[in-house]
């Protein structure tokens, strides 16, 4: 994951296995990274500092980074903003 303004790598997270890959969009949610994980079941996940992957159960929604350690999800009928507290 790279962060503005200089785009130097901040964290690197490997895919859990050869059957999964990361989306090009990711953002920080506090000390977690939030991204879409592609595989047999596409899902939005959070990756903690230890590298553990946590399913956020936001199926069928698109991920958009937002301000202040938050992110948006967009579906056909709704836009939602999330933030870890």
**Count of other CB atoms within 10 angstroms of residue 31:** 12
Average of pLDDT values for 63-72?
91
Q: What is the model's pTM?
A: 0.83
pLDDT score at 1: 62
pLDDT at residue 34 in the model: 95
- DSSP 3-state of 58: coil
Number of residues in the chain = 85
DSSP 22-55: EEEEEEEETTEEEEEEESSS-EEEEE-TT--EEE
Tell me the average pLDDT of the chain. 88
Q: Give the Å distances, CA to CA, from 70 to 17, 23, 39, 40.
A: 27, 17, 24, 27
Per-residue pLDDT, averaged over 46-65, amounts to: 89
């Amino acid at each position: 994951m790279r962060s503005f303004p200089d785009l130097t790598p901040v964290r690197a997270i490997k895919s859990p296995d050869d059957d999964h890959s990361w989306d090009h969009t990711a953002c920080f949610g506090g000390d977690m990274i939030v991204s879409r994980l592609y595989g047999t079941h596409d899902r939005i996940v959070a990756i903690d500092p230890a590298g553990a992957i946590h399913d956020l159960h936001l199926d069928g929604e698109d991920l958009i980074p937002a301000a202040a350690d938050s992110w948006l999800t967009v579906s056909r009928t709704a836009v939602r903003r999330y933030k870890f507290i």
